Amino acid sequence: MKQSHLALIVGAGVVAVLAAFFLGRQMPADRAPDGADGQVVAGDAQGQATGPGRRQREAEEIRAVDLSDLPSDDWVEVYSPDEAWNGYNLALYDRRLPMIVDMNGRVVHHWPLVRVRERVQLTPEGHLLYIASDRSIQEVDWDGEKVWEYRSNNPKYWPHHDVRRLEDGQILAIFRNHPKSDEIVKIDPEDGIVWTWSALDHLIDDSSSEDKHAKNPNLQSVQVIPDHGRTDDKRFRPGNLLVAAHGMDLIFVVDHQSGEVVWRYDTDLGGPNDPTWIPDGLPGAGHILLVNHRRSDANRRSMVLEIDPFTDQIHRTYEDTFFSTPFKGGAQKLPNGNILVTSIKGWRSFEIDERDGLVWQWSVLYAQMATARYPYDYCPQLAALEPPSQVAVQASGGAPHVDRPLYSFATEGETREVVIDGESRQVLAEYPHCEKVALPSGSTVQLGYGYPFGTPGSSQAQAAVQVTVARPGSTAKAALFEGKIDPEDGELWNEVEFAVPDQYTATPLRMCVETTVGGDGSTLWSSDLRIRPGDSIQVKRQDLPKLERDVTGRKARGRQHAKEDDEARGKRGRRRQQETP
């Protein structure tokens, strides 16, 4: 039996509660799990105190950002009002500031002082529920006034990735119990955590394994299975939990009563995210919709899957040559059968119809978080807005949108640091280095290359670098760039930028960087390729409103976490120095 304390703040009073619990079982409302010491704070909108000077401190930490002039209507590249399922889109500006845009991209409402870390939900009352940048769970009203908050007092126990309001008013969330594993909790708005489920106890078979995923499955999303007509299968009875374990390439169902995992699906999954039970009344009711990031796919292409969990059969798939999101992608089934997809690293959200036709696309100038579509009358505040005009936007007829991961050349672990010409430089770890890529229209490539040893003016023989491309299945290579370094000319490092011919854009390619060895046996090193797309939007990223990044920063996470971060950075730095020739 484990014990913990839960401090409740109601108005100005503090009540300390000693609680005992069993993992995976429903607990009385005055009980909480081990390590989950926290505070439930009633917000100002309820007339409750949040502590002296708190609002003033928050105003000093967070600068209000006005999005009323955001040129987001220019970012809608495709829109077919007759084919799309029209509504309002809840999105995050620059991954932090929540805003609502219409189908033509116009901002109709935003919350200037709210900063979201992960997952934001609009409630039927017009409130926002989200994981804040300081790792608390917060709820604010339409005007941004805080009405509720849950804050962990344990710096090693914090919410991440998902939080949802349930029909009974409780909050469902994923918590990291560092360094143990992930937990799923239910939070009563007044009593704090009242139920918990631990992956360490119910999901992980071998807790002594050295595999990092065995100890941390990295849960990404959790949803309560809603009422549905297939009650004959107890595995999927309403109230059970549908969960994604990104780190284990697995989606599964937890029996809410026993805590046991009663269904698993991992066939050809590579980092699954956000599995959603399609509710009754929508096409595909009773199926599960998810994004399969396919992080191990050689082509780096992602996929949307619709699975029938009763048979484990795939009902529908969507993939495209230029669709790639390595993490946190989103997919929402819409009432007309269309699917709203978010490519986080592709910097876009788009809607496809049942024939996979593109009927809406919103391409922004920053990494996205999952966009959610709501009916025009979803809450009173939206219903009170003037009905938006729905202006069709025809595709330009040019090259298709290519998601950024497809032209990210070197991936994690494929670079190293070396000192060249007195400066530390990030270079490719092995040669030749080849990747399957797709380059956007108007691409330019930035490249640096040079000797790790040598002295300008020395007699070392020159060495060369070459960037080539080849089409799939072809052995014929075309050289996009050839360069040389000759120390006798006084140079050890050179940087260039060159354009990619149109015939090599918007098509799958195999791109390689090859180098030759100098006369003294020294290897010429090349930097990672920096591939930049052409400018299809006149507004530049640097001209957009600026946001603070994680406004409360490490201070909100506690001194212990800051110390751990510093130690980790120090270890990585020492390891790189040891690897440097």
- Can you say whether the dihedral through the CA atoms of 286, 291, 295, 296 is positive or negative? positive
> Can you give the pLDDT at residue 55?
44
- Can you say whether the dihedral through the CA atoms of 506, 497, 468, 416 is positive or negative? negative
Cα 554–Cα 546–Cα 115 angle in degrees, nearest 5: 50
pLDDT in tens, 32-62: 444 455 777 765 433 333 333 444 444 446 8
Q: One-letter amino acid identity for 100?
A: I
> Can you give the pLDDT at residue 574?
34
Residue 359 has pLDDT above 90, yes or no: yes
> Which residues, at least 6 apart from 250, have a Cβ–Cβ distance to it below 8 Å?
217, 244, 264, 265, 266, 269, 272
- Tell me the three state secondary structure of residue 161: strand
- Band the pLDDT of 7: cuts 50, 70, 90: very low
pLDDT in tens, 464-498: 899 999 998 898 999 999 998 877 777 789 999 99
Question: What is the set of domains in the chain, with CATH numbers?
Answer: 65-107+334-407 (no CATH), 412-536 (2.60.120.260)
Task: Tell me how far apart the alpha carbons of residues 533 and 510 are, in angstroms, rounded to a whole number.
Answer: 18
Pairing of strands 2-10, 38-42: parallel
pLDDT in tens, 392-430: 999 876 778 998 889 989 877 889 998 888 899 999 998
Phi, psi of 577 (to 5 degrees): -65, -40
Tokens of 457: 């003016």
- Tell me the three state secondary structure of residue 207: coil
Task: Tell me how far apart the alpha carbons of residues 491 and 508 are, in angstroms, rounded to a whole number.
Answer: 35
> Can you give the pLDDT at residue 452?
74
Nearest CA-CA partner of 26 in 312, 284, 256, 359: 256
Cβ-based neighbour number of residue 415 at 10 Å: 18
pLDDT in tens, 73-132: 889 999 999 999 999 999 999 989 999 999 999 999 999 999 999 899 999 999 999 999
> Can you give the pLDDT at residue 240?
98
> Can you give the pLDDT at residue 187?
97
Q: Tokens 């996009």 map to which residue?
A: 480
- Band the pLDDT of 454: cuts 50, 70, 90: low
> Can you give the pLDDT at residue 520?
59
Tokens of 223: 């949803």
> Can you give the pLDDT at residue 60?
47
Global pTM?
0.83
Task: Tell me how far apart the alpha carbons of residues 283 and 268 are, in angstroms, rounded to a whole number.
Answer: 24
Q: What is the phi-psi region of residue 189: left when phi exceeds 0, alpha when psi lies from -120 to 50, beta otherwise?
A: alpha
Tokens of 229: 């007509």
pLDDT in tens, 201-226: 888 764 444 554 555 689 999 999 99
Q: One-letter amino acid identity for 317?
A: T
pLDDT in tens, 494-531: 999 999 999 999 999 999 999 887 665 667 889 999 99
> Can you give the pLDDT at residue 549?
57
Q: What is the phi-psi region of residue 479: left when phi exceeds 0, alpha when psi lies from -120 to 50, beta otherwise?
A: beta
